[in-house]
């Protein structure tokens, strides 16, 4: 086993997943140890601790992870979408900044009225402006019955 110094085994030329070790660099990591310069199969250069390489904490520069994540997100969205509307969005929790206490109902300061709206097939549909909060909530509930309920019922078994 060839060594670079008394502490380190020479990793030059070795492959760890998509990474090929180029050389021991003069860059230092968090704990002040020297980092290995590595070239990824995508041609990006990164600097990694030898321990992270030998214990397989790093197998690429992140290019593979990003591609897999993007693919998984795309698959989830496709499975979740019905007629252009995402089922999980229909059941999503109330936003923490919501002042009305009801999804799709917000106070419009400029008009001094409550606005009811609903998202459907990638569009936001305005359900009207109301003096009373209760009227806006009723309009939103009517919108859910009209737009969301058929989608949820048709796809309940999925």
Domains, the chain, ordered by start = 15-62 (no CATH), 78-154 (3.30.730)
Q: By three-state DSSP, how is residue 17 classified?
A: coil
CB atoms within 10 A of CB 16: 21
pLDDT tens-digit readout, 50-64: 999 999 888 888 887
Per-residue model confidence (pLDDT) at position 37: 95
Alpha-carbon gap, residue 69 to 78, rounded angstroms: 14
pLDDT tens-digit readout, 3-21: 877 788 899 999 999 999 9
Contact 111/129 with Cβ under 8 angstroms?
A: yes
Residue 155 binned pLDDT confidence (cut-offs 50, 70, 90): low
pTM of the model: 0.50
> What's the token pair of residue 29?
């990591």
Residue 89 Cα to chain centre, angstroms? 15
């Amino acid at each position: 086993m060839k060594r670079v110094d008394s502490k380190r085994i020479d990793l030059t030329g070795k492959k760890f997943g998509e990474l090929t070790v180029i050389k021991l660099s003069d860059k230092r990591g968090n704990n002040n140890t020297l980092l290995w310069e590595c070239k990824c199969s995508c041609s990006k250069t990164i600097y990694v601790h030898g321990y992270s390489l030998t214990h397989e904490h790093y197998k690429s520069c992140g290019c593979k992870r990003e591609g897999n994540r993007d693919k998984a997100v795309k698959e989830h969205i496709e499975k979740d979408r019905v007629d252009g509307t995402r089922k999980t969005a229909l059941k999503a929790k109330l936003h923490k900044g919501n002042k009305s206490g009801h999804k799709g109902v917000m106070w419009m300061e400029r008009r001094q009225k409550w606005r009811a709206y609903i998202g459907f097939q990638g569009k936001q549909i305005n359900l009207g402006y109301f003096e009373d909060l209760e009227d806006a909530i009723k309009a939103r509930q009517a919108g859910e019955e009209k737009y969301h309920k058929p989608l949820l019922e048709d796809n309940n078994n999925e």
